[in-house]
Structure 1
Amino acid sequence: MVEKTGLDERLADLAADGRLGAAPLAAEQIRARGDRRRRRKRAARASGGVLLAAAVLVGGLSLVRPGPEPTAADPSPSTSAPLFVPPTPAPGEEYATELGHVYGAVALDGGRVRVTVQQLRDERGTAVPTGVVHELTLPAVTPVEVRELAGGNPGDMRLDEVVDRLRTGPRWVFALDYDGEGRVQSLREAHWLTVE
């Protein structure tokens, strides 16, 4: 009986070895898949860490790197001066209006005129400076409605016809009409405003 039990155990061991050699047990397959997954995760974390470190380094360098030096020919704008934003028409309106002193007119080649505009705001009929000053280059044929500029006679002129009177410093106040694309369509002398 002892021999029979020993023989049964040997046969069982041989059968188990044969099964292991033919196909691994389910637990071993699961362990192998888990190992592969862990290796892939480690590799992904390592490569992601390298990419993150590179991105941080490049970003830090772009913040630290000095910008171009300002030159006398191309000065950088003052950060304290308000920036000019062309007005946009309200819904249903054709034009938006900017009030401003128009001066420093210079006739340019190609039928253009460059003017300086010192922006104003209307406070109960009085023109008050906003601190915004900008330049515009307009077509010489831009329509200009005048009154005081033409000696008190209301009339329509073109910008190139009033360049000489607009050459000097801030004296004449105009309402500049901007279309939806930020282009000046006309200038109207704001004779109804009192200049502060």
Structure 2
Amino acid sequence: MADENGLGGHLADLADSGRRRTDPLAAERIRARGEQRLRRKRAAMAAGGALLAATVVLGGLSLVRATRGSELPAAVPAPTASRFVPPTPAPGEEYATELGHVYGAVANGDSVEVTVERLRSVRGTATPVGVVHTLTLPRGTPVEARQLAGGDPADVQLGELVDQLAGGPRWMFAIDYDSEGRVQSLREAYWLTG
């Protein structure tokens, strides 16, 4: 019955017409884009797996290193006689100041090691507070001196005062520290009495 109506021939013509009208290049491009997406997805998964593996290995190494104990620091800090913590500037200020007797100066190459006995100023009189520490400073550290310079105000370098500061606690200074705890300058506290 299908042959009587010509349905079979009609379906064959329709299939042949569809094949002639399809663009083989478009179908090939669609297939190529699909394969490209699949390759990118596989590459991303492989890279993510490699990154995960590297992270796990580095994490494991850091844990092993931590259990072995800490390594020596690159630079050995200067020894101190006490657990001295440098003063820090107040908000809006450039420096924090420590009052102290500076003495026992010893030159070591390009640096000078001094002992500082912290003082407290009470109505113009300096009184020790019991904190003693050592500082290792560059020879070129600026010092504002007055009595050390013979009574006339002068700006000198710490290296020039090693001989005068080598003795016991006689000279009082205001020591200026920056926000990172480094000494920026020393100012002779000639206005204080000891």
Q: TM-score scaled by structure 2?
A: 0.57
Quick one: structure 1 residues 9 and 103, their matched pair in 2 at CA, closer, same or farther if it must change by over 3 Å?
Answer: same
Quick one: structure 1 residues 162 and 69, their matched pair in 2 at CA, closer, same or farther if it must change by over 3 Å?
Answer: closer
Quick one: structure 1 residues 138 and 21, their matched pair in 2 at CA, closer, same or farther if it must change by over 3 Å?
Answer: closer
How many residues of Structure 1 are paired with residues of Structure 2 in the alignment? 180
Shift of residue 54, structure 1, vs aligned partner: 1.7
Which amino acid in the other structure matches residue 100 of structure 2? G
**Number of the residue aligned with 1:48:** 48
2:188 aligned with 1:188, yes or no? yes
For 2:48 and 2:111, the matched residues in 1 are separated by 57
**Number of the residue aligned with 2:165:** 166
Identical-residue share of aligned pairs (%): 36
For 1:97 and 1:144, the matched residues in 2 are separated by 16
Shift of residue 9, structure 1, vs aligned partner: 1.3
RMSD (Å) for aligned C-alpha atoms: 5.0
- The equivalences for 1:143-182 within 5 A come to 143-146=144-147, 163-168=162-167, 170=169, 172-177=171-176
Shift of residue 121, structure 1, vs aligned partner: 6.2
**Number of the residue aligned with 2:116:** 118
- The equivalences for 1:37-76 within 5 A come to 37-58=37-58, 60-61=60-61, 64-65=64-65, 68-69=71-72, 75=76
| Structure 1 portions without partners, runs of 5+ | none
Q: TM-score scaled by structure 1?
A: 0.57
Secondary structure class of the residue paired with 1:192: coil
Quick one: structure 1 residues 178 and 82, their matched pair in 2 at CA, closer, same or farther if it must change by over 3 Å?
Answer: closer
For 2:18 and 2:159, the matched residues in 1 are separated by 105
2:103 aligned with 1:103, yes or no? yes
| Contact 2:78 2:136 survives alignment (8 Å) | no
Quick one: structure 1 residues 121 and 188, their matched pair in 2 at CA, closer, same or farther if it must change by over 3 Å?
Answer: same
